Amino acid sequence: MQSPAPAHPIHAQHQVHVREVTLGLLGCGSVGSAILELLERRRQTFADMGVRIQVAGVLVRDASRPRDVPRGTPLTDDPSFLNKCAVVIEVMGGTERPLELLRPYLCSGRPVITANKALLAECWDDLRPFALAGQLYYEASVMAGTPVIGPMSTVLRASTFQRFQAVVNGTCNFILTRMEQGLDYPEALAEAQALGYAEDPPTLDVGGFDSAHKLAVLARFCADGRFPFQAVSVQGIEHLTQPDIQAAAARGERYKLVAELMRTADGKEDSWEGWQAKVHPLSLPGDHALCSTAGSRNAMLFEGDECGPLLFAGGGAGGMVTASAVVGDLLDWLIGFPGHVPLHGPEEGLGAETNCG
Protein backbone atom coordinates (compact mmCIF):
# COMPACT_ATOMS: atom_id res chain seq x y z
CA MET A 1 0.00 0.00 0.00
CA GLN A 2 1.21 3.54 -0.77
CA SER A 3 2.10 5.75 2.17
CA PRO A 4 -0.91 7.74 3.36
CA ALA A 5 1.25 10.85 3.72
CA PRO A 6 0.75 13.75 1.29
CA ALA A 7 2.26 13.23 -2.16
CA HIS A 8 4.64 16.13 -1.56
CA PRO A 9 5.55 16.37 2.15
CA ILE A 10 5.94 19.92 3.36
CA HIS A 11 9.58 19.47 4.36
CA ALA A 12 10.43 18.32 0.84
CA GLN A 13 9.04 21.42 -0.88
CA HIS A 14 11.65 23.95 -2.00
CA GLN A 15 9.14 26.67 -2.72
CA VAL A 16 5.99 27.29 -0.67
CA HIS A 17 2.84 27.29 -2.77
CA VAL A 18 -0.67 27.09 -1.39
CA ARG A 19 -2.54 23.86 -1.93
CA GLU A 20 -5.98 23.02 -0.62
CA VAL A 21 -6.42 20.03 1.70
CA THR A 22 -10.00 18.84 2.18
CA LEU A 23 -10.84 17.68 5.69
CA GLY A 24 -13.87 15.91 7.11
CA LEU A 25 -14.91 15.93 10.77
CA LEU A 26 -17.08 13.25 12.37
CA GLY A 27 -18.66 14.62 15.55
CA CYS A 28 -19.16 18.17 16.79
CA GLY A 29 -19.43 18.03 20.56
CA SER A 30 -17.05 19.92 22.82
CA VAL A 31 -13.99 18.34 21.19
CA GLY A 32 -15.22 18.72 17.62
CA SER A 33 -16.13 22.38 18.18
CA ALA A 34 -12.71 23.02 19.72
CA ILE A 35 -11.00 21.40 16.72
CA LEU A 36 -12.84 23.74 14.34
CA GLU A 37 -11.84 26.73 16.48
CA LEU A 38 -8.20 25.62 16.62
CA LEU A 39 -8.09 25.12 12.85
CA GLU A 40 -9.14 28.78 12.56
CA ARG A 41 -6.54 29.89 15.12
CA ARG A 42 -3.79 28.04 13.26
CA ARG A 43 -4.78 29.26 9.81
CA GLN A 44 -1.48 31.17 9.50
CA THR A 45 0.52 28.12 10.63
CA PHE A 46 -1.00 26.12 7.80
CA ALA A 47 -0.46 29.00 5.36
CA ASP A 48 3.23 29.13 6.31
CA MET A 49 3.38 25.45 5.32
CA GLY A 50 1.73 26.20 1.99
CA VAL A 51 -1.59 24.63 3.01
CA ARG A 52 -5.16 25.86 3.16
CA ILE A 53 -7.50 23.57 5.13
CA GLN A 54 -10.94 23.28 3.58
CA VAL A 55 -13.56 21.65 5.83
CA ALA A 56 -15.69 19.61 3.44
CA GLY A 57 -18.26 18.54 6.02
CA VAL A 58 -18.97 18.05 9.72
CA LEU A 59 -21.14 15.04 10.50
CA VAL A 60 -23.72 15.61 13.26
CA ARG A 61 -26.98 13.97 14.30
CA ASP A 62 -29.03 17.17 13.98
CA ALA A 63 -27.72 19.71 11.48
CA SER A 64 -30.42 22.26 12.43
CA ARG A 65 -29.31 22.53 16.06
CA PRO A 66 -27.42 25.76 16.86
CA ARG A 67 -23.73 25.16 17.61
CA ASP A 68 -20.78 27.30 18.61
CA VAL A 69 -18.75 26.79 15.43
CA PRO A 70 -17.09 29.14 12.92
CA ARG A 71 -19.44 30.88 10.52
CA GLY A 72 -20.09 28.85 7.39
CA THR A 73 -19.18 25.47 8.92
CA PRO A 74 -20.84 22.82 6.70
CA LEU A 75 -22.85 20.84 9.28
CA THR A 76 -24.66 17.81 7.86
CA ASP A 77 -26.17 14.45 8.78
CA ASP A 78 -25.11 13.01 5.41
CA PRO A 79 -21.65 11.35 5.44
CA SER A 80 -21.27 11.40 1.64
CA PHE A 81 -18.77 14.28 1.95
CA LEU A 82 -16.21 11.69 3.08
CA ASN A 83 -15.72 10.72 -0.56
CA LYS A 84 -13.96 14.00 -1.30
CA CYS A 85 -11.84 14.25 1.85
CA ALA A 86 -8.06 13.90 1.86
CA VAL A 87 -8.08 13.32 5.64
CA VAL A 88 -10.79 12.60 8.22
CA ILE A 89 -10.91 13.43 11.94
CA GLU A 90 -13.19 11.26 14.10
CA VAL A 91 -14.37 12.46 17.53
CA MET A 92 -17.94 11.13 17.57
CA GLY A 93 -17.31 8.40 20.17
CA GLY A 94 -18.78 4.91 20.29
CA THR A 95 -17.62 1.96 18.24
CA GLU A 96 -20.11 0.56 15.73
CA ARG A 97 -21.05 3.72 13.83
CA PRO A 98 -17.50 5.14 13.58
CA LEU A 99 -16.14 1.81 12.37
CA GLU A 100 -18.92 1.56 9.80
CA LEU A 101 -17.98 5.00 8.44
CA LEU A 102 -14.22 4.74 8.69
CA ARG A 103 -13.54 1.26 7.40
CA PRO A 104 -14.41 2.00 3.73
CA TYR A 105 -12.49 5.27 3.98
CA LEU A 106 -9.39 3.55 5.37
CA CYS A 107 -9.66 0.90 2.67
CA SER A 108 -9.19 3.68 0.12
CA GLY A 109 -5.71 4.25 1.58
CA ARG A 110 -6.48 7.61 3.19
CA PRO A 111 -5.56 8.62 6.76
CA VAL A 112 -7.75 8.95 9.84
CA ILE A 113 -7.07 10.98 12.98
CA THR A 114 -9.07 9.89 16.02
CA ALA A 115 -9.41 10.55 19.75
CA ASN A 116 -11.69 7.52 20.19
CA LYS A 117 -10.03 5.16 22.70
CA ALA A 118 -13.08 2.85 22.86
CA LEU A 119 -12.94 2.32 19.09
CA LEU A 120 -9.20 1.62 19.20
CA ALA A 121 -9.43 -0.68 22.21
CA GLU A 122 -12.45 -2.75 21.19
CA CYS A 123 -12.15 -2.83 17.39
CA TRP A 124 -8.40 -3.41 17.13
CA ASP A 125 -8.65 -6.53 14.98
CA ASP A 126 -10.33 -4.39 12.31
CA LEU A 127 -8.07 -1.36 12.75
CA ARG A 128 -4.64 -2.88 13.37
CA PRO A 129 -3.80 -3.49 9.68
CA PHE A 130 -4.43 0.20 8.96
CA ALA A 131 -2.31 1.22 11.96
CA LEU A 132 0.50 -0.98 10.65
CA ALA A 133 0.14 0.75 7.27
CA GLY A 134 0.66 4.14 8.96
CA GLN A 135 -2.87 5.41 8.31
CA LEU A 136 -4.04 5.88 11.93
CA TYR A 137 -3.07 8.88 14.05
CA TYR A 138 -4.38 8.80 17.63
CA GLU A 139 -2.27 10.82 20.08
CA ALA A 140 -5.43 12.33 21.58
CA SER A 141 -6.92 8.95 22.52
CA VAL A 142 -4.88 8.70 25.76
CA MET A 143 -4.19 11.65 28.08
CA ALA A 144 -5.67 14.05 25.50
CA GLY A 145 -3.15 16.85 24.86
CA THR A 146 -0.38 15.35 27.00
CA PRO A 147 1.85 13.47 24.52
CA VAL A 148 2.52 9.87 25.54
CA ILE A 149 1.70 7.84 22.42
CA GLY A 150 4.23 9.75 20.32
CA PRO A 151 7.19 8.99 22.61
CA MET A 152 6.05 5.41 23.25
CA SER A 153 5.72 4.71 19.54
CA THR A 154 9.15 6.14 18.71
CA VAL A 155 12.11 6.97 20.98
CA LEU A 156 11.07 4.88 24.01
CA ARG A 157 11.25 1.68 21.95
CA ALA A 158 15.02 1.86 22.33
CA SER A 159 14.59 1.17 26.06
CA THR A 160 13.64 -2.24 27.47
CA PHE A 161 10.18 -1.67 28.89
CA GLN A 162 9.40 -2.97 32.38
CA ARG A 163 6.16 -1.36 33.50
CA PHE A 164 4.01 1.75 33.69
CA GLN A 165 1.45 3.07 36.12
CA ALA A 166 -1.01 5.75 35.04
CA VAL A 167 -3.90 7.86 36.29
CA VAL A 168 -5.94 8.55 33.17
CA ASN A 169 -9.51 9.31 34.30
CA GLY A 170 -10.33 12.77 35.61
CA THR A 171 -13.81 11.82 36.84
CA CYS A 172 -12.41 9.30 39.30
CA ASN A 173 -9.73 11.79 40.34
CA PHE A 174 -12.41 14.34 41.18
CA ILE A 175 -14.55 11.87 43.12
CA LEU A 176 -11.64 10.54 45.16
CA THR A 177 -10.47 14.07 45.96
CA ARG A 178 -13.95 15.02 47.21
CA MET A 179 -14.06 11.86 49.32
CA GLU A 180 -10.76 12.92 50.90
CA GLN A 181 -12.55 16.16 51.76
CA GLY A 182 -15.26 14.25 53.63
CA LEU A 183 -17.98 13.31 51.13
CA ASP A 184 -19.29 9.77 50.86
CA TYR A 185 -18.99 8.09 47.45
CA PRO A 186 -22.66 8.66 46.43
CA GLU A 187 -22.40 12.36 47.34
CA ALA A 188 -19.12 12.82 45.46
CA LEU A 189 -20.53 11.04 42.42
CA ALA A 190 -23.69 13.17 42.43
CA GLU A 191 -21.57 16.32 42.56
CA ALA A 192 -19.41 15.11 39.68
CA GLN A 193 -22.55 14.46 37.62
CA ALA A 194 -24.05 17.85 38.51
CA LEU A 195 -20.84 19.55 37.33
CA GLY A 196 -20.79 17.56 34.10
CA TYR A 197 -17.68 15.58 35.01
CA ALA A 198 -19.48 12.21 35.02
CA GLU A 199 -21.98 10.73 32.59
CA ASP A 200 -25.34 9.25 33.60
CA PRO A 201 -24.90 6.31 34.00
CA PRO A 202 -21.28 6.84 35.08
CA THR A 203 -20.12 3.22 34.74
CA LEU A 204 -17.63 3.86 31.95
CA ASP A 205 -15.64 6.18 34.23
CA VAL A 206 -16.14 4.94 37.81
CA GLY A 207 -16.21 1.29 36.72
CA GLY A 208 -12.71 1.65 35.29
CA PHE A 209 -13.58 0.87 31.68
CA ASP A 210 -12.44 4.22 30.27
CA SER A 211 -9.05 3.65 31.92
CA ALA A 212 -9.00 0.08 30.59
CA HIS A 213 -9.56 1.31 27.03
CA LYS A 214 -6.56 3.62 27.37
CA LEU A 215 -4.42 0.91 28.95
CA ALA A 216 -5.08 -1.43 26.02
CA VAL A 217 -4.08 1.29 23.54
CA LEU A 218 -0.79 1.98 25.35
CA ALA A 219 0.06 -1.72 25.80
CA ARG A 220 0.37 -2.09 22.02
CA PHE A 221 3.43 0.17 21.99
CA CYS A 222 5.41 -1.44 24.79
CA ALA A 223 4.15 -5.02 25.35
CA ASP A 224 2.59 -6.51 22.19
CA GLY A 225 0.99 -4.88 19.16
CA ARG A 226 -1.81 -7.43 19.31
CA PHE A 227 -2.68 -6.75 22.96
CA PRO A 228 -6.44 -7.36 23.39
CA PHE A 229 -8.76 -5.18 25.43
CA GLN A 230 -10.20 -8.36 26.97
CA ALA A 231 -6.85 -9.05 28.65
CA VAL A 232 -7.23 -6.03 30.95
CA SER A 233 -8.50 -6.82 34.45
CA VAL A 234 -10.87 -4.06 35.58
CA GLN A 235 -12.02 -2.91 39.01
CA GLY A 236 -13.58 0.50 39.59
CA ILE A 237 -13.90 2.78 42.59
CA GLU A 238 -17.56 2.13 43.44
CA HIS A 239 -16.74 -0.02 46.46
CA LEU A 240 -14.51 2.54 48.20
CA THR A 241 -15.90 3.97 51.43
CA GLN A 242 -15.08 6.83 53.78
CA PRO A 243 -13.35 4.43 56.22
CA ASP A 244 -11.10 3.26 53.34
CA ILE A 245 -10.17 6.85 52.47
CA GLN A 246 -9.58 7.81 56.10
CA ALA A 247 -7.46 4.73 56.80
CA ALA A 248 -5.26 5.58 53.79
CA ALA A 249 -4.90 9.18 55.00
CA ALA A 250 -3.84 7.92 58.44
CA ARG A 251 -1.03 5.99 56.69
CA GLY A 252 -0.01 9.07 54.73
CA GLU A 253 -1.47 7.57 51.54
CA ARG A 254 -4.06 8.49 48.90
CA TYR A 255 -6.32 6.35 46.72
CA LYS A 256 -6.00 6.65 42.95
CA LEU A 257 -7.58 4.61 40.15
CA VAL A 258 -4.41 3.25 38.54
CA ALA A 259 -3.97 1.62 35.14
CA GLU A 260 -0.81 -0.48 35.18
CA LEU A 261 1.04 -2.82 32.88
CA MET A 262 3.97 -4.98 33.97
CA ARG A 263 5.95 -8.06 33.05
CA THR A 264 4.87 -11.22 34.84
CA ALA A 265 5.57 -14.94 34.84
CA ASP A 266 3.96 -16.86 31.97
CA GLY A 267 0.90 -18.72 33.11
CA LYS A 268 0.19 -16.37 36.01
CA GLU A 269 -3.50 -15.76 36.58
CA ASP A 270 -4.85 -12.69 34.75
CA SER A 271 -1.74 -12.49 32.53
CA TRP A 272 -1.49 -12.45 28.73
CA GLU A 273 1.67 -13.50 26.88
CA GLY A 274 3.84 -12.65 29.88
CA TRP A 275 2.11 -9.35 30.68
CA GLN A 276 -0.33 -8.35 33.39
CA ALA A 277 -2.64 -5.41 32.72
CA LYS A 278 -5.05 -4.15 35.34
CA VAL A 279 -7.11 -1.15 36.34
CA HIS A 280 -7.80 -0.93 40.07
CA PRO A 281 -7.86 1.47 43.03
CA LEU A 282 -4.47 1.68 44.74
CA SER A 283 -3.53 3.30 48.02
CA LEU A 284 -0.27 5.10 47.17
CA PRO A 285 2.22 6.97 49.37
CA GLY A 286 1.35 10.65 49.48
CA ASP A 287 4.65 11.57 47.81
CA HIS A 288 4.17 9.13 44.93
CA ALA A 289 4.40 10.83 41.52
CA LEU A 290 0.83 9.85 40.63
CA CYS A 291 -0.53 11.57 43.75
CA SER A 292 0.32 14.95 42.26
CA THR A 293 -2.63 14.67 39.85
CA ALA A 294 -5.93 16.38 40.60
CA GLY A 295 -9.11 17.14 38.70
CA SER A 296 -8.84 16.30 35.00
CA ARG A 297 -5.04 16.15 35.05
CA ASN A 298 -3.50 12.82 34.09
CA ALA A 299 -0.10 11.30 34.80
CA MET A 300 1.90 8.26 33.75
CA LEU A 301 5.07 6.84 35.31
CA PHE A 302 6.97 4.87 32.64
CA GLU A 303 9.87 2.60 33.60
CA GLY A 304 12.47 1.25 31.18
CA ASP A 305 15.87 -0.30 31.80
CA GLU A 306 17.84 2.22 29.76
CA CYS A 307 15.70 5.36 30.02
CA GLY A 308 14.94 4.92 33.74
CA PRO A 309 11.71 6.24 35.28
CA LEU A 310 9.93 8.93 33.27
CA LEU A 311 6.93 10.98 34.37
CA PHE A 312 4.39 12.35 31.88
CA ALA A 313 1.78 14.69 33.37
CA GLY A 314 -0.70 17.24 32.07
CA GLY A 315 -4.22 17.88 30.92
CA GLY A 316 -6.13 14.69 30.22
CA ALA A 317 -9.56 15.99 29.22
CA GLY A 318 -11.35 19.03 27.86
CA GLY A 319 -12.25 20.22 24.40
CA MET A 320 -9.27 22.44 23.56
CA VAL A 321 -6.74 20.21 25.35
CA THR A 322 -7.86 17.27 23.23
CA ALA A 323 -8.07 19.39 20.09
CA SER A 324 -4.41 20.38 20.49
CA ALA A 325 -3.34 16.74 20.09
CA VAL A 326 -5.73 16.15 17.19
CA VAL A 327 -4.48 19.17 15.25
CA GLY A 328 -0.93 18.16 16.14
CA ASP A 329 -1.57 14.82 14.43
CA LEU A 330 -2.90 16.69 11.41
CA LEU A 331 0.32 18.70 11.24
CA ASP A 332 2.35 15.48 11.47
CA TRP A 333 0.46 14.03 8.52
CA LEU A 334 0.95 17.20 6.47
CA ILE A 335 4.69 17.15 7.21
CA GLY A 336 4.87 13.55 6.02
CA PHE A 337 5.16 11.51 9.23
CA PRO A 338 3.29 8.18 9.27
CA GLY A 339 0.66 7.47 11.90
CA HIS A 340 1.23 5.70 15.22
CA VAL A 341 2.49 2.23 14.33
CA PRO A 342 2.15 -0.45 17.05
CA LEU A 343 4.72 -3.13 17.82
CA HIS A 344 4.88 -5.75 15.08
CA GLY A 345 6.85 -8.68 13.78
CA PRO A 346 9.42 -8.60 10.95
CA GLU A 347 6.79 -9.58 8.41
CA GLU A 348 4.65 -6.57 9.23
CA GLY A 349 5.09 -2.80 9.34
CA LEU A 350 4.57 0.16 7.03
CA GLY A 351 3.06 -1.04 3.80
CA ALA A 352 1.37 -4.00 5.53
CA GLU A 353 -1.58 -5.51 3.73
CA THR A 354 -5.00 -4.42 5.00
CA ASN A 355 -8.03 -6.68 5.17
CA CYS A 356 -10.13 -4.79 2.63
CA GLY A 357 -10.70 -7.77 0.35
Q: Are strands 271-272 and 275-285 parallel, antiparallel or unpaired?
A: antiparallel
Cα 186 off chain centre by: 28
- Residue 263 forms beta bridges with which residues? 275
Angle between helices 124-132 and 96-107 (to 10 degrees): 30
Annotated catalytic residue 268:
no
Per the annotation, where are the binding residues for NADPH? 117
Residue partners of 328: CB distance under 8 A and separation at least 6: 139, 147
Percent composition of the chain: helix, strand, coil (DSSP 3-state, to 5): 40, 20, 40
Q: What is the DSSP string of 282-299?
A: EEEETTSGGGG--TTEEE
Residue pair 255/287 in contact by the 8 Å Cβ criterion: no
Return d(Cα 132, Cα 263) in angstroms, integer.
24
From the list 214, 256, 268, 278, the catalytic residue is 214
- In angstroms, how far apart are the furthest CA atoms of the chain? 67
Q: What is the DSSP string of 15-81?
A: S---EEEEEEEE--SHHHHHHHHHHHHTHHHHHHTTEEEEEEEEE-S-TTS-----TT--EES-GGG
**Whole-number Cα distances in Å, 76 to 14, 138, 326:** 38, 24, 21
Per the annotation, where are the binding residues? 27-32, 117, 199
Per the annotation, where are the binding residues for NADP(+)? 27-32
**Whole-number Cα distances in Å, 37 to 41, 70, 86, 217, 316:** 6, 7, 20, 28, 19
**Catalytic residue set:** 214
